[in-house]
């Protein structure tokens, strides 16, 4: 069993840092965020004005998953419409999906946000609390995804990056050992950050 991993959470909550720690320890997983995925698949750079070849991006991801590659997807995943694609891919290949939501205090997240440049435009600014507030308002309650019968293959944990606490929201029996290994990696990264 090799589940897909989908990161979720607001900017500044530690998604990318946590994803990096996990991919380093989970040698058989490839790290993808929208920007590096598009580069890896030879598509045009991401533009804040939208993506005319999003369907091609989806098609290439599905093809790679079908051919046995396993991915950790790093993105805010703020709406069900976005997360649903990943849930469907996992179900299509017959594998479970682990949803990891990173969280911390909003004030901490705002201090961690670094400017992110796409196509020469700054889309997130560390001093723009309005941007963070807008994204906070858009982030849906992810636990509601687990109540949908079509998502019975999805497990979910939350990871508070500020206090290094993992909560198991729903863990399928066949995902128990995998989730324990994830928790072990997150705990070891906590110990390393203290030294």
pLDDT of 114? 62
Work out the average pLDDT over 36-62.
59
CA angle 46, 79, 187 (to 5 degrees): 90
Instruction: Report whether pLDDT(123) > 80.
Output: no
Helix (H, G, I), strand (E, B) or coil at 185: helix
Contact 138, 124 (CB under 8 A): no
CA angle 52, 88, 82 (to 5 degrees): 45
Contact 121, 115 (CB under 8 A): no
Give all domains of the chain, ordered by start, each with its CATH number: 4-190 (3.40.50.300)
CA distance 18 to 182: 10
Residue 147: pLDDT band (50, 70, 90) is: very high
Instruction: Report whether pLDDT(31) > 80.
Output: yes
Cβ density class 82-118: b for 16+ within 10 Å, e for less: ebeebbebbbeeeebbbbbbbbbeeeebbebbeeeee
Average model confidence (pLDDT) across the chain = 79
CA distance 159 to 179: 12
Residue 122: pLDDT band (50, 70, 90) is: very low
* pTM, rounded to two decimals: 0.81
Instruction: Report whether pLDDT(26) > 60.
Output: yes
What would the pLDDT profile of 149-194 be if each residue is shown by its tens digit?
999 999 999 999 999 999 999 999 999 999 999 999 998 865 555 4
Which residues sit opposite 117 in a β-bridge? 122
């Amino acid at each position: 069993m090799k589940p897909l991993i989908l990161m979720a959470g607001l900017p500044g909550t530690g998604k990318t840092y946590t994803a990096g720690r996990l991919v380093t320890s989970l040698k058989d997983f490839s790290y993808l965020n929208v920007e590096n995925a598009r580069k890896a698949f030879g598509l045009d750079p991401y533009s804040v004005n939208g993506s005319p070849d999003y369907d091609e991006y989806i098609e290439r991801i599905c093809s790679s998953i079908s051919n046995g590659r396993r991915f950790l997807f790093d993105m805010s995943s703020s709406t069900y419409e976005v997360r649903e694609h990943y849930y469907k891919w996992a179900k299509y290949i017959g594998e479970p999906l682990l949803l990891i939501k990173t969280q911390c205090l909003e004030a901490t997240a705002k201090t961690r946000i670094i400017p992110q440049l796409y196509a020469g435009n700054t889309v997130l600014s560390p001093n723009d609390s309005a941007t963070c507030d807008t994204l906070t308002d858009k982030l849906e309650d992810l636990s509601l995804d687990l109540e949908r019968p079509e998502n019975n293959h999805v497990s979910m944990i939350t990871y508070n990056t500020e206090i290094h606490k993992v909560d198991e929201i729903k863990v399928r029996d066949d995902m128990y050992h995998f989730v324990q290994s994830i928790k072990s990696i997150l705990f070891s990264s906590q110990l390393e950050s203290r030294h």
